[in-house]
Amino acid sequence: KKTTHAMARKAMTDAKNMGVRYLRVSATGYGPIWYKDQGDLELWFNPATRAQHWALFDQMMSDMDAQGLKIVPTFVWNWVQFPALAQDTADNMITNPNSPSYLLAAEYITEFINRYKNHPALYYYELTNEFNLGADLDLKVNCLNEIPPPWDPNKDRCAPMGRFATDQMIAFTQRLAAHIKSLDPAHPITSGFSIPRKAAEHLRACPAWGPEGPACEG
């Protein structure tokens, strides 16, 4: 752990020396990607060790501030992370504000913002990581096609997935942004969206799971 911490500090120093002034950071890590998987939020997810999670994050924030660096925290870097933690599905998180996974994500974001909204290292918030690239695609079917059976049922990375339309994605990010603004009206928010796919508008009109798939006309 000491070695990892020293390497992280060196990376910050190197970034500063190269002229970098802020870092885009996944505030939640990446995993888990399937149910009951070990992931990057294990300390936070367990109430008995939640304080340890925030103590580690406090250290990172302190180190960044000492280097004069700002942080852009991304809250939904991996869109199946909170569904996998809550044993839910991503489409339920996106469409249902009362779903276990959405409530879990909101809980984490609430704790983060209440803890760091006045921290000098905080720059602005980012909602997602290129979330729009999955809109209107049948991502679960695509996943199942990539990993044909048999597969390990305890490591089924397709289980937490789902599908979502562009309008559902917009409603989800608006809901998440409103929640963040209710906690911290001062800092800006960005979607984290990527440049749209070339066929984004066509897919929005003709989602991959429609009766004619993305080849529909009109």
Question: How confident is the model over 135-191, as pLDDT tens digits?
Answer: 999 998 888 888 766 677 778 889 999 999 999 999 999 999 999 999 999 999 999
CA dihedral 77→121→174→167, nearest 10 degrees, is: -30
Q: Tell me how far apart the alpha carbons of residues 174 and 180 are, in angstroms, rounded to a whole number.
A: 10
Biggest CA-to-CA distance, the chain: 59
Confidence of residue 1 (pLDDT cuts 50, 70, 90): low
3-state DSSP call for residue 201? helix
Confidence band of 68 (pLDDT split at 50, 70, 90): very high
Kindly indicate the confidence band of residue 209, based on its pLDDT and cuts at 50, 70 and 90: confident
For residue 8, the model assigns a pLDDT of 84
Contact (Cβ atoms closer than 8 angstroms) between residue 62 and residue 7: no
Half-sphere exposure of 57 (CA within 13 A, CB side): 24
- The pLDDT of residue 150 is 67
pTM greater than the 0.85 cutoff = yes
What tens digit of pLDDT does each residue of 79-113 get? 999 999 999 999 999 999 999 999 999 999 999 99
Which of the two residues, 145 and 73, has the higher pLDDT score?
A: 73
Distance CA 187, CA 94 (A): 24
- Mean pLDDT (the chain) is 92
* % residues pLDDT > 70 (the chain): 95
pLDDT tens-place string over residues 28-49: 999 999 998 989 999 999 999 9
- Beta partners for 24? 72
Instruction: Return the pLDDT at 217.
Output: 61
Q: Distance between CA atoms of 147 and 170, rounded to whole angstroms?
A: 29
Percent of the chain scoring above 90 in pLDDT: 75
CA 85/CA 89 separation, integer angstroms: 10
pLDDT score recorded for residue 145: 86
Structure tokens at 217: 């006309």
Predicted local confidence at residue 103, as pLDDT: 98
Name the band, by pLDDT with cuts 50, 70 and 90, for residue 2: low
